[in-house]
Chain A
Amino acid sequence: MDAIFLQILNGLDKGGAYALIALGLTLVFGTLGVVNFAHGALFMLGAFCSVSFYKLLTLSKQVKDESITFFDAFKEQPYLEIWFGDYGTAIIDYAVPLSILFAIPVMLLIGLIMERGLIRHFYKRTHAEQILVTFGLAIVLQELIKSFFGANPIPMPPPEIVSGSAPIGALFGLGESVVYPWWRLIYLAFSGIVIAAVFAFLNMTTYGMVVRAGMMDRETVGLLGIDVERRFTVVFGLAAVVTGLAGVMYAPILPPDYHMGMDFLVLSFVVVVVGGMGSLGGAVAAGFLLGILQSFASMNEIKSIFPGIDQIIIYLVAVIILLVRPRGLLGREGVMED
């Protein structure tokens, strides 16, 4: 029972990340009709927003280690700690959550520049051309990050108070060994809030209503005198922010490196396809479904019956779902069927 509970929790936690990434991807596809292979790079850029912010906060005074003569070795003390003592230490400790404030404008700007500068020129081009150009863009972005930060992962600690694990088993009357990292629980809650906020924006605001209408029938909305293109640009920016925030908060779980976006790219496309192209609800549902299935497939008991199942489960489920429901779980008729 303990093991099953832990795997459900683990699946939800994974699913939260998958859903957040896939949400941005499907938002762009649903509104602009663009298959954005640079989406993984946005996730990576979000994670590097937290790295940059952390590096900014930890700009340090360097005290040379005189015992080393062949090169310069330093012991470093951040200026924030020198100037503000314990307050400075506390600010650095909360670098990851604070970097959300830094990441929102940065990611919005990156999204707008990407859409206005490149993506919009490919609206009317074939999906193959869109894939090629966005994939190329992703490579350029990751090489830029590599040239600044190197190829090695960079550790990003969560705040000290939530760096350990929560005794969650005790809360549910399970064994004491049932614990779960605080930061992963925070990530799960955070993904839930962001997903709810995006749905609220699309369903409860006039702006969102126009966007949804544009997703259904762009031409008619345009004929009503609404500048739907401009709204879609904002939606691209919103998708970049959502994906970037997923990356910011993921940094303590997976130390960021320049390639992390590519690692998530294929996975997020599978989530979108399983959920149904252009379906926001489908993307979220598929994210959680695949997260939970992946988690269970990694259990030793399951692997002893089906060796290697943990490595193929996501693709296996995708094949089965597409055979049974060719449009995915909640896919709409007419999307990518022309």
Chain B
Amino acid sequence: MSDKKNSAGWSRRDIMKAAGAFSAAGTMPMFFSRGAWAAESFRNDPGNSATVKLGFNVPQTGAYADEGADELRAFKLAVKHLNGEGDGGLMNTMKPLSLKGNGILGKKVTYVTGDTQTKSDAARASAKRMIEKDGVLMFSGGSSSGVAIAVQSLAQEMGVIFMAGLTHSNDTTGKDKRRYGFRHFFNAKMSGAALGPVLKKEMGTERAAYHLTADYTWGWTQEESIKETTEGLGWKTVKTVRTPVGAGDFSQYITPILNSGADTLILNHYGKDMINSLTQAIQFGLKDKNVNGKTFEIIVPLYSRLMAQGAGKNLRGILGTTNWNWALKDAGSQAFVKSFGSEYGFPPSQAAHTCYVQTLLYANACEMAGTFYPPEVIKQLEGFKFDGMGNGKTEYRAEDHQCFKDVLVVRGNENPTSQFDLLEIVQEVPRAQVEYDAKIFGGELGPYKV
């Protein structure tokens, strides 16, 4: 085959070789820069825009609106700190830290908000709007496990990372875990593991427990975990009763407890349900009863500040667990309380803390990855070990995207010194005590690339 040359001395083969070499040289940098391939193809890529947008999907109406408002305050504070405004908050204490106070990867952080209404369908619709219409790179927030699980699966479908807010069900990072979902908040299994030794010490090993459980994913998994703990201590489970969410008057569920032979009531209720059921249980004189030669006890495995405020004096002396409390004295907690307290005039709730931390963790992972490309960001979050965020040494376990850190066992304060001094820290339970095998809850994370 002849290789004819044109007047400039270029043969067809020369032209093809030159074109091949030019293409290879042109695309070479992409082989050496992480995520550059994907930069062409991922959803809501900010490209050359000077800003990036995050979505904060919190309950702004409904029973958890106050908790949602606190989450939103924390998100706004996190955005401020990421953009280099304010006192920097936890960016002063977080280790290791890749954030520079110039936004994320040099792009100023902006945000949009949505209302979950603490309803799965409304939360999904709101998240979908944020992703499709507002173009958010990540979304976060929420005060319910049902909502978290619903929007987490949407995150996976759409390839946008979801940094969960307050969700305590084992299912969130158990059977319903997703590659695109991450939970900093602790879970029911960890509550049970943290409470166990304290219950043994304070209430002994021969008790008869009666459970009232909110009839949805969080309630079921908490009942299962607490039951496993108490039965492990040698306690007998008298009965587990499911109650409708938002029942209001729980008296018809409380009266059977009176002559059930139980000497301990475990309230697997959250928010308004817990406030109502606890108030009514106290009115039925359960705390004044003496059964089986023991003083009747009530346990509320998951506490929040809003619940403590709503239950008032009824909460005094009652044991439970929390993810975080503003009274902690470590440098991270103090930095966050200072920052939040100076901004808003009152201390942050545990919901605010987890939302703030989640925002910083996402931003930090982007900085570490050097890209917004979700699979690369996910890889940075998986197995990420950090400290200085208010819960001691913490790790985002790669296998299930659950954060492992110290858990607080608390008690309703008998002698509060101020309107915010509602919970007394009984014990900071070390992380090692609440760790468990990721395989026990099953589930599949799913693919990185969607």
Measured CB to CB, the residues of A under 8 A from B are 2-3, 6-7, 10, 13-14, 17, 65, 67-68, 70-76, 146, 150-155, 157-158, 163-165, 175, 177-181, 183-184, 252-255, 257, 259-260, 263-264, 294-295, 298-300, 303, 310-311
Contacts and interface: CB of A to CB of B under 8 A. Distances in A.
Contacts of B340: 70
A181 B406 CA distance: 40
B72 to A, nearest CB: 13
A75 B418 contact: yes
B425 to A, nearest CB: 16
Contacts, number: 138
Interface of B: 62-66, 239, 241, 244, 246, 248-249, 251-253, 255-256, 258-259, 272, 275-276, 279-280, 283-285, 288-289, 306, 309-314, 337-338, 340-342, 344-347, 417-421
Given A155-B311, A255-B275, A263-B246, A73 B418 contact: yes
9 contacts: A10-B252, A71-B344, A151-B62, A151-B65, A153-B310, A157-B313, A164-B288, A294-B252, A311-B244
A155 B279 contact: yes
Contacts of A74: 418-419
Given A71-B347, A151-B65, 6 more contacts: A165-B284, A177-B259, A177-B289, A179-B258, A257-B63, A263-B248
Given A13-B251, A73-B418, A181-B285, A259 B259 contact: no
Interface centre among A150, A153, A255 (most CB of B within 10 A): A153
A300 B256 contact: yes
Contact of B65 (A3, A71, A146, A252): A146
Contact of B284 (A72, A175, A179, A300): A179
Contacts of A163: 283
A165 B285 contact: yes
Nearest to A165: B285
Nearest to B418: A73
Contacts of A252: 283
Nearest to B342: A70
Nearest to A153: B310
Nearest to B279: A255
Contacts of A154: 310
Contacts of B66: 150-152
- Residue from B62, B239, B338, B341 having most chain A Cβ neighbours under 10 A: B341
Contacts of A295: 251-252, 255
B259 A178 contact: yes
Given A255-B279, A298-B253, A310-B244, A70 B337 contact: yes
Given A3-B256, A71-B345, A298-B253, A183 B310 contact: no
B185 to A, nearest CB: 20
By Cβ-Cβ distance, the 8 closest A-B pairs, closest first, are A155-B312, A70-B341, A165-B285, A73-B418, A71-B341, A298-B252, A151-B65, A181-B283
A68 B337 CA distance: 10
A153 B337 CA distance: 25
Contacts of B421: 65, 73
Given A14-B249, A259-B62, A300-B241, A3 B255 contact: yes
Nearest to A260: B248
A22 to B, nearest CB: 16
Contacts of A300: 239, 241, 256
Contact of B259 (A152, A175, A184, A310): A175
A311 B246 CA distance: 11
A67 B309 CA distance: 21
